[in-house]
Structure 1
Amino acid sequence: MKFRRKSTPDSADISAEETATSAAEPDEGAVAEPAVGPFDADDLPEGGPHHVDLGSLLVPPMPGRDLRLQVNEKTGEVQAVLLAGPDGALEIRAFAAPRNGDLWGEVRPQIAADMTRRGGTATEREGHFGPELVCQMPVRGADGATGTQASRIIGVNGPRWLLRATFMGRPATETEIPQDWIDTVTAIAVRRGDGPMPVGEPLPVVMPESARRVDPPADS
């Protein structure tokens, strides 16, 4: 845990011995900086907000955001988690990664190449979470009209996992990611699990019991 020490006017008169002691022992007035994620599930701070347990992803409910699960209709498997609000949306996925290395650095060029192959563009730049991709993809609406869909893709390397987050709407088009959307990402936790998995394999997302439960019909 990091502490921010308050400066004192007579700090220049403190002896070397006093300086060493004060460096080893934080001041009573020291302020603990809040932990910032995304977190590994084992490192999730105690006393924080409640999280919805989706197996590999622990997602805190956010005011004004709908938590949705993208489900493969054929297999019934959850493919991604979506947080949708009035100004945009955030799609999150987690993948198995090696213990050491930079999986985001490896897959980023692959994502950019796939965007280009599909007729879009992907521009890499430095953002709040490090290197990110700002993408433009041509789309056709239900009425046949064509347009462009903007997205911003970030990646966070964790201990044996990679969290990939894709912003759409306002968070994708503004120069900087709005702070409320940054706060959404930094509150997420990833549960990798102990079992062996191929690098790049999606970590399983589990639909909560409350969403799967079906109440029996009332007796007539």
Structure 2
Amino acid sequence: MKKLIITGHTRGLGRALAELYLQRGWQVLGLARGRADMVSPKLRQVRIDLADGAALAAWLSSGLLRDFLADAGSILLANNAGTVSPNALLGRQRPSETLSAVALNVTAPLLLANAALAARPARVPLDILHIGSGAGRKNYPGWSVYGATKAALDHHARCVAAEGHENVRITCLAPGVVDTAMQGEIRAADEADFPMRPRFAALKEGGGLQSAEETAAKIAAYVESARFGEEAAADIRDFWH
């Protein structure tokens, strides 16, 4: 049985991915602060604040993840949940937003990747997908925190790949610029804090954003391909050129 564990499945790209895999008959375990209004006997939802490391660690210790994976024939972990805040230059960043960003963007994916490998049945194929960003590979003013967290996922993928685990593939994949609520948050930022705001406003106005559904389909095709895992840090736009 094919099983997907996905974070942030209630909206945006995470919801599009969850819906796509449900349509394909996968069992899906969604982790998020809220609940999605999707109705499917194949969907299980866990309400949890993934930025609360102690709460996530406690849930991972409960054995529920191991129970979900017990009869899996293949497993995909999609670490999708994330935040761009603080959209601000150094010296103008709120400490609470930085703490939350590191917990959600870095700590949660690392904990889940470790737990998924520990809980998988012996030799069952495990694919680990970190949703990365070009911001982790380029220098953008106002995104020192966001960029650093995404760069951390790139390097985590590289190190895990170097460990050579049996039947494990891992990639941190930049999905391109997707039309989600996160983009709305970026466009709403104060330009004094985030000088790149006009660039993202222009992308929206010029039709330069991909839909979540289109991006989810491309990501799923990439994960299913033999190329997945060949590059620890990849960009979906290089696959679909």
Q: Please report the TM-score for the alignment, with normalisation by the length of structure 1.
A: 0.27
Structure with more of its chain in strand, by fraction: 1
Structure with more of its chain in helix, by fraction: 2
In our comparison, the structure showing a higher alpha carbon Rg is 1
Which has the higher relative contact order, 1 or 2, with Cα contacts under 8 A spaced 6 or more apart? Answer: 1
